[in-house]
A and B are shown apart, each in its own frame.
Chain A
Amino acid sequence: MKTLGIDIGSLNIKAVVLEDEGISGTGVVPLDDDIEASARMAMEKALDQSELNLDGLPVLATGVGAKQISFTSQQKTITTCLARGIHHLYPSVRMVIDMGAESMTVVKLNERGRLADWANHDKCASGTGLFLQQMAKLMGITLDEMAQLSFQAHSRADITSTCAVFAESEVISHVHRDPPTPMEDIAAGIYFSVVSRTISLCKRVGIEKDIAVTGGVALNDGLVSILEHELGFEVLKPEAPQIVAALGAAIIARENVEKGNQK
């Protein structure tokens, strides 16, 4: 059986084609003003890889913009999709930390891989991909450079504010201090502030192993390494962390067909 899952994020759209043998195609495209067109582009990319076309393929959408697209009526929320996607990749996972462009979500799974609980920071920009981008910009470096710098840090710059706006001014003052705080330490400080907020979100639902990280920010190995250090153990890192929710969506689409209740 073949299905397609699509995750309409706030920065990127991710599509996954799932066949019986597993994932056969993926597509990630940046979102522009026309959600529908970007979504179609992502799907086409994934379908091209799979050498398939859309005709009659069951599609299920998730993500913040899922309600705005017209080509499928099947939808599930991101938490359910993350749980399904990660369980498919790593059955041992009990907790997912999803770090997206504009949101951070922690999802807890029960032993059957079903969604058991979740928590998110949905009204707060700090700790998200866009926040990190903004911080890198303030420091005049790229996200990759920031990650590399963080590995060379000798200590951490204090960034205590939990609000993105105030954290920004703290970073600026570190940069302009005389002498300026070393860039390495600022990078580590920024990651640490994100990590401490991540961990406090995890504590709201109760930390449980194994933990996987997903979402675009999970590609940032500097941040993930500080996260592991603070948690005190390693986390699982999918090869393509940003497509886990789309994968989950494709899995649910398949289940729906099997249940015979496809709409």
Chain B
Amino acid sequence: MSDERIATLEPFRIVNNTFPKTKEIQELKQEGKKVFGWLCTYVPEEIIHAAGALPIRITGCSEEQELDDANAYLYINNCSFSRSCLQMGLKGEYDYVDGVIAGSTCDGARRLFDLWSHYLRAPFHHILTVPRKYTERAHRLYYEQVSQFKTLLEQHLGIEITDEALVKSITVFNESRELLKRLYELRKLDLPPITGAETMEVLNTSFRMPKELFNHYLHQLLDELAGSKIAHPSRARLMVTGSTMNNPEFLRSIEELGGLVVTDELCTSTRYWSDPVVLDDRPPLEAISRRYLNNFPCARMVPSDERFDRILQLAHDYKVDGVISQIIRYCVPYAHDLPLISERLKKAGIPVLALDVEYGTSGSGQIRTRVQAFLEMLETKKK
């Protein structure tokens, strides 16, 4: 692993180090801007943006923390992601948000939302019903839900969210998606100029600051990488799949052992940016609704083959040697899929290392030992 540093990563790091109480967010708040927290990738951010507010993603503490209060409220058998988010909420880390919006995506997310509304009482709370299918009927229901959310937000803020504003927001968000796609293209190279951990640092900021500023920083990064001589060789090219995860240190601990994470199927990464909103002849709100339901799916969606196929495609496109599946304990949607996806990857000749983790883990000794053995196995296989 080369030690060369990418200078333009610095602004991203500053944002991550101070989130949720970043200076930019606090300044915007003082200027009177509303800030809304969202809990799941099925919440259409463009609508919040078009309302003139700042959407930020509520995440837990991306390192292991004491979850005492959250354990008492959510009980110990809800996933550590939802407990970690609630813990931060209870500690007042998100006390500045003007509202919280969730989707009925999984049991953990909906109960986190329930308790957040019950105990933390932001001025605005809303949860969208998200169908689990892609049928036309499901699209109609989801569109209705998205429209209702837009109306409620308009009423709450006393404003109108125009089609023009939506189109503008779509353009900004699509630019982010396009830039992130360019960043990911670089990871397809035989010797990528950026590691998985560094990429995750970039992605973490994508939902923690104004998108316009993020796009600006990302342009700088891509410019630097274009002229950079940094090239990361590796023992094996890896893909990370499974539960929500946004801790760069976890990836760093894998990469320190010589594996290079070149792609992923995470809702904080690929599943977050991968599909643009397609503005053809549909009204913008409908285009948004289509994109969010059709986006690279979460394990909650049925049939799962849609997701499995996309994972296999990614593994092919990024020339992946092995997959590390990291599943948070009690993350039922992903845990149920493990036997099915492992089978499919194995058939495609891609070994899978299945790790049970807690949200925020940075890779314990036990995890390192298993990753080490996995890398050795992959190397032997390549010879």
Interface range for A: under 10
Q: Is the CB of A203 within 8 A of B66?
A: no
Shortest distance in angstroms between A108's beta carbon and chain B's nearest beta carbon? 13
Q: A196-B66, A204-B72 are in contact. List 11 more A-B contacts (CB 8 A).
A: A160-B64, A199-B68, A200-B66, A200-B68, A200-B71, A200-B72, A203-B68, A203-B69, A203-B71, A203-B72, A206-B72
Per-residue A-contact encoding for B232-274, CB less than 8 Å = 1, 0 else:
0000000000000000000000000000000000000000000
CA distance A204 to B71 in the complex (A): 8
Point out the residues of chain B lying under 8 angstroms from A200, CB to CB: 66, 68, 71-72
Closest A residue by C-beta to B75: A204
Total contacting residues, chain B, CB less than 8 A: 6
Per-residue A-contact encoding for B69-88, CB less than 8 Å = 1, 0 else:
10110000000000000000
Point out the residues of chain A lying under 8 angstroms from B64, CB to CB: 160
Shortest distance in angstroms between A177's beta carbon and chain B's nearest beta carbon? 14
Closest A residue by C-beta to B364: A160
Point out the residues of chain B lying under 8 angstroms from A160, CB to CB: 64
CA distance A196 to B71 in the complex (A): 13
Point out the residues of chain B lying under 8 angstroms from A204, CB to CB: 71-72
CA distance A196 to B68 in the complex (A): 9
Closest B residue by C-beta to A197: B68
Point out the residues of chain A lying under 8 angstroms from B68, CB to CB: 199-200, 203
Closest B residue by C-beta to A200: B68
- A interface with B by C-beta (< 8 Å): 160, 196, 199-200, 203-204, 206
CA distance A206 to B73 in the complex (A): 11
9 residue pairs from A and B, CB less than 8 Å apart: A160-B64, A200-B66, A200-B71, A200-B72, A203-B71, A203-B72, A204-B71, A204-B72, A206-B72
CA distance A200 to B69 in the complex (A): 8
CA distance A22 to B69 in the complex (A): 40
Closest A residue by C-beta to B68: A200
Instruction: Give the interface SS of chain A, mostly helix, strand, loop or mixed.
Output: helix
CA distance A203 to B64 in the complex (A): 19
Closest B residue by C-beta to A206: B72
Point out the residues of chain A lying under 8 angstroms from B71, CB to CB: 200, 203-204
The 3 closest A-B pairs by CB, nearest first: A200-B68, A203-B72, A203-B68
CA distance A196 to B66 in the complex (A): 9
Shortest distance in angstroms between B240's beta carbon and chain A's nearest beta carbon? 24
Point out the residues of chain B lying under 8 angstroms from A206, CB to CB: 72
Interface centre among B64, B66, B68, B69 (most CB of A within 10 A): B68
CA distance A160 to B68 in the complex (A): 14
Shortest distance in angstroms between A172's beta carbon and chain B's nearest beta carbon? 14
CB neighbors of A among B57-111 (8 A): 64, 66, 68-69, 71-72
CA distance A200 to B75 in the complex (A): 12
Interface centre among A196, A200, A206 (most CB of B within 10 A): A200
Point out the residues of chain A lying under 8 angstroms from B72, CB to CB: 200, 203-204, 206
CA distance A129 to B68 in the complex (A): 22
Point out the residues of chain B lying under 8 angstroms from A196, CB to CB: 66
Shortest distance in angstroms between B119's beta carbon and chain A's nearest beta carbon? 13
Per-residue A-contact encoding for B34-74, CB less than 8 Å = 1, 0 else:
00000000000000000000000000000010101101100
Shortest distance in angstroms between A47's beta carbon and chain B's nearest beta carbon? 44
CA distance A89 to B341 in the complex (A): 62
Point out the residues of chain B lying under 8 angstroms from A199, CB to CB: 68
Closest A residue by C-beta to B67: A200
CA distance A160 to B69 in the complex (A): 17
Point out the residues of chain A lying under 8 angstroms from B69, CB to CB: 203
Closest A residue by C-beta to B73: A203
Shortest distance in angstroms between A255's beta carbon and chain B's nearest beta carbon? 33
Shortest distance in angstroms between B249's beta carbon and chain A's nearest beta carbon? 15
CA distance A204 to B69 in the complex (A): 8
Closest B residue by C-beta to A160: B64
CA distance A206 to B64 in the complex (A): 23
CB neighbors of A among B150-205 (8 A): none
CA distance A160 to B67 in the complex (A): 13
Closest B residue by C-beta to A119: B72
CA distance A74 to B377 in the complex (A): 65
CA distance A236 to B64 in the complex (A): 33
Shortest distance in angstroms between A104's beta carbon and chain B's nearest beta carbon? 15
Interface centre among B69, B71, B72 (most CB of A within 10 A): B72
Interface centre among A160, A196, A203, A206 (most CB of B within 10 A): A203
Point out the residues of chain B lying under 8 angstroms from A203, CB to CB: 68-69, 71-72
Shortest distance in angstroms between B230's beta carbon and chain A's nearest beta carbon? 34
Shortest distance in angstroms between A178's beta carbon and chain B's nearest beta carbon? 17
Shortest distance in angstroms between A141's beta carbon and chain B's nearest beta carbon? 27
CA distance A196 to B65 in the complex (A): 12
CA distance A206 to B69 in the complex (A): 10
CA distance A59 to B68 in the complex (A): 40
CA distance A196 to B67 in the complex (A): 11
CA distance A160 to B358 in the complex (A): 14
